């Protein structure tokens, strides 16, 4: 650039007003005709350039897509692998419907006395819930508990139990003291049970079909007072109902846990049975009856069924006007057959059941004990026993011991 051009450029940039030489240069530029442009050549050159650049961009895009596609595939594969590994490493969650919720064991509904009830070592008020495994203590008070529609039971002062099972049947393990219960009868099986474990680890179960009873322990010695209904006394079964001594009310029972069959004594006299305590809320306990001395039971078999006189809770025989018809051995056989026919059985299977029912009948004509040899299924045996116990249905002409063989095919 010449000196004059440099000067003019500086003036254009720095001067507030153009100088005379600048004005002259602008005048000359305006008078000079513009050069002719070859627009066709410019357009062709521009089109060719755009085409080349588009081609280059497409190639780069294809290469980029391949790279990104490869990366995406790799990332997806890695994610799938991580998901697979995590699912293999962690057990699948159970659906909500398959989650087992603990069954409620009932709640404290009433307190009697000035003490307190502790569950798991903590003092609880009315409404306090019980759960399986909970240890319940009555510290100076009587606690009344209820599993609605199933059983209402109390724990006497100074007593302690553990809820061994919360679902049906409700089972409490008596550690010390005594518990009393009013149990809603069930058509089959057991509704409530009390377990007592000796220092040697032996366990005896008092299983309830529907009754009012009291179970107490002093060391390894157990006392059962049965006001109404039926109980089974024996070892806890791995499944099904408790087999052993089937006892009906009224009855006062004593036994040692480590020698049930050898120590078992049963008295059916009403005066021998401790009076039942009311379990209706805060009703005060009823006066207790004096426990009569017991004589050894003359029948020494672990399959003995001790039968009470009178219906559930009634220690007297029916009035003469209400006496049932006289029974015969055929009546006993018919009862066994009817109960066996009512038992569940697999379709298309024929089963023959044979047993001998040995009965001991008292002077008043009512059954005192029954022995099934061989034993029947627990449900069938319970069915037969309930009919034989009922003094409104079963009465013989006189005191007798008889054996009735029965065979049922169905």
Residue 21 tokens read as: 């030489």
* Res. 113 pLDDT band, cuts 50 70 90: confident
Mean pLDDT throughout 290-315? 35
Tokens 């790799």 label which residue? 74
Q: What is the pLDDT of residue 42?
A: 74
Q: What is the pLDDT of residue 324?
A: 72
Q: What is the pLDDT of residue 98?
A: 37
Is the pLDDT assigned to residue 314 strictly greater than 50?
no
Q: Render the burial of 239-252: b for 16+ CB within 10 Å, e for the rest.
A: eebbbbbbbbbbbb
Q: What is the pLDDT of residue 286?
A: 38
Q: What is the pLDDT of residue 103?
A: 53
Q: State the Cα–Cα distance between residues 370 and 3, nearest whole angstrom.
A: 142
Residue-wise pLDDT for 325-345, tens only, equals 788 888 888 888 888 877 777
Q: Which one is predicted more confidently, 186 or 229?
A: 229
Q: Which one is predicted more confidently, 27 or 251?
A: 251
Q: What is the pLDDT of residue 319?
A: 40
Choice among 21-30, 133-142, 265-274 with the minimum mean pLDDT: 21-30
Is the pLDDT assigned to residue 206 strictly greater than 80?
yes
Q: Which one is predicted more confidently, 219 or 63?
A: 219
């Amino acid at each position: 650039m010449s000196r004059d051009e440099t000067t003019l450029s500086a003036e254009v940039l720095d001067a507030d007003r153009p100088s005379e030489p600048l004005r002259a240069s602008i005048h000359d530029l305006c008078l000079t005709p513009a050069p002719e442009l070859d627009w066709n050549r410019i357009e062709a050159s521009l089109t060719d350039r755009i085409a080349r650049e588009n081609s280059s961009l497409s190639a780069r895009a294809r290469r980029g897509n391949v790279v990104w596609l490869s990366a995406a595939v790799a990332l997806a594969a890695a994610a799938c692998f991580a998901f697979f590994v995590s699912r293999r490493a962690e057990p699948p969650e159970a659906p909500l419907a398959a989650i087992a919720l603990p069954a409620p064991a009932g709640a404290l509904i009433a307190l009697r006395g000035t003490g307190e009830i502790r569950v798991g070592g903590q003092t609880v008020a009315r409404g306090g819930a019980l759960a399986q495994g909970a240890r319940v203590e009555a510290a100076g008070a009587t606690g009344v508990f209820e599993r609605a529609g199933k059983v209402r039971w109390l724990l006497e002062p100074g007593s302690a139990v553990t809820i061994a099972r919360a679902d049906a049947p409700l089972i409490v393990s008596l550690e010390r003291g005594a518990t009393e219960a009013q149990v809603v009868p069930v058509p089959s099986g057991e509704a409530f049970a009390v377990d007592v474990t000796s220092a040697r680890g032996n366990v005896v179960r008092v299983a309830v079909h529907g009754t009012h009873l009291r179970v107490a322990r002093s060391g390894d010695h157990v006392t059962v007072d049965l006001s109404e209904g039926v109980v089974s006394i024996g070892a806890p079964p791995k499944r099904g109902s408790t087999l052993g001594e089937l006892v009906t009310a009224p009855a006062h029972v004593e036994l040692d846990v480590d020698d049930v069959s050898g120590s078992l004594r049963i008295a059916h006299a009403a005066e021998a049975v401790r009076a039942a305590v009311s379990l209706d809320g805060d009703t005060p306990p009823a006066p207790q009856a004096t426990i009569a001395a017991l004589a050894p039971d003359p029948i020494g078999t672990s399959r003995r069924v001790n039968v009470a006189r009178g219906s559930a809770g009634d220690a007297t025989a029916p009035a003469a006007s209400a006496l049932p018809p006289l029974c015969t051995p055929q009546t006993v056989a018919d009862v066994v057959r009817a109960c066996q026919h009512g038992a569940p059985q697999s379709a298309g299977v024929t089963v023959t059941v044979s047993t001998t029912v040995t009965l001991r009948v008292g002077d008043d004509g009512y059954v005192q004990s029954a022995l099934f040899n061989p034993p029947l299924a627990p449900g069938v045996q319970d069915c037969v026993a309930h009919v034989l116990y009922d003094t409104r249905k079963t009465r013989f002409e006189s005191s007798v011991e008889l054996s009735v063989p029965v065979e049922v095919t169905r």
